[in-house]
Amino acid sequence: MKFKSTTCFTSVAAALLFSLGSANAQTIVKIGYTPAATSHYGVGTNVFCEEIEKNTQNRYKCQVFPNGSVGGEREMIEAVQLGTLDIVNTSTGPVGNFVPEVKIVDIPFLFRDYDHARSYFDGPEGQALLTKFPAKGLVALTWTENGFRHMTNSKRSIVKPEDASGLKMRTMENKVHMDGYKAFGIRPTPMAFPEVFGALQQGIVDGQENPIPVILASKFSQVQKYLSLTGHVYSPALFLTSPRFMKKLSDADQKVFYEAAKKANIAQRKKVNEDEANGIAQLEADGMIVVRDVDGPAFRKALDQAYIQYGKEFGADNIKKIQDYK
């Protein structure tokens, strides 16, 4: 009789422990991005992780890979499709290679300013683009932001397109960008972001182009002398995951992930604003020569032929619709 009682107690205890273990089971969510952890990507990703951990009672826990430690943006997008990475916080640079409809937003001088760009991506046109991702094995949780791109180099100040002519400049693997940069006389050199600092340091390329927050976080002032505030491309970003990953989540948890991404977007944009406001002075203090009075009209004029090609590829009316968006 005693043996039976002990057996019963043991069974109940085991069941209780199993139940507690199940309740406390934790799923690791692997998230990657290419800039430093101190960057706007880091800020946005941290908020995203805090939100999902808090609102799932720590059933989901992030493992974060900054600094391109698991590959460049294209490699991380492919990893998301394959399921070896759960989420990537990425610029649209390589995204058009996966979702061609997105290429149009990478056209140089398409957006006037941050208000214009943000209202477009938050509005119905921008949100409609997000519906194109599942067919390509991706889910876009939200648009977020990289920022307006500017040129840096180690050779000379760039005021007008002719000043950029002949410079070998690292670019993303993005044909829309590269076609535009060729119009400035630049020799575009596609390269994964984790390789950029070393390539600049060794003189493999003369320069690169990125938003102020990336230039700051990546410490490009250590290997670049000149910064020209060309603002030649607005660079959106995205939190991307896969349909496979989302199907593992309950409806309630899916909602948590989408809401977390929205809050991450707010934080990431806020960090962009702060870096835009304060970062240029910091880069000057770090020794960079900053050209503020760039000849914007001359850069736009240099793109006339490129815009004819963009019009053929994307539709001139579609481009104008974005340019005129309010």
Confidence of residue 173 (pLDDT cuts 50, 70, 90): confident
Over residues 109-137, the pLDDT tens digits come to 999 999 999 999 999 999 999 999 999 99
Cα Dmax for the chain: 96
Contact (Cβ atoms closer than 8 angstroms) between residue 117 and residue 234 = yes
Candidates 3.40.50.2300, 3.40.190.170, 3.60.10.10, 3.30.420.40; CATH matching 21-323: 3.40.190.170
Report which of 21, 29, 20 is spatially closest to residue 256, judged by C-alpha positions: 29
Helix (H/G/I), strand (E/B), else coil: 193: helix
* Sequence-distant (≥ 6) Cβ neighbours of residue 173 within 8 angstroms: 74, 93, 94, 97, 190, 192
Query: Residue 315 gets which letter from DSSP?
Result: -
Over residues 62-120, the pLDDT tens digits come to 999 999 999 999 999 999 999 999 999 999 999 999 999 999 999 999 999 999 999 99
CA distance 213 to 39: 6
* Residue 25 confidence (pLDDT): 82
Over residues 234-266, the pLDDT tens digits come to 999 999 999 999 999 999 999 999 999 999 999
- Listed in sequence order, the DSSP H helices in 123-219 are 124-130, 161-164, 175-183, 196-202, 212-217
* Residue 275 confidence (pLDDT): 96
Give the mean pLDDT of the chain: 93
Helix (H/G/I), strand (E/B), else coil: 130: helix
pTM above 0.95, yes or no: no
Binning the chain into helix, strand and coil, the percentages to the nearest 5 are 55, 20, 25
* Domain extents in the chain: 21-323
Over residues 287-310, the pLDDT tens digits come to 999 999 999 999 999 999 999 999
Confidence of residue 155 (pLDDT cuts 50, 70, 90): very high
State mean pLDDT over 161-184: 96
Q: How far is residue 295 CA from its own chain's centroid? A: 27
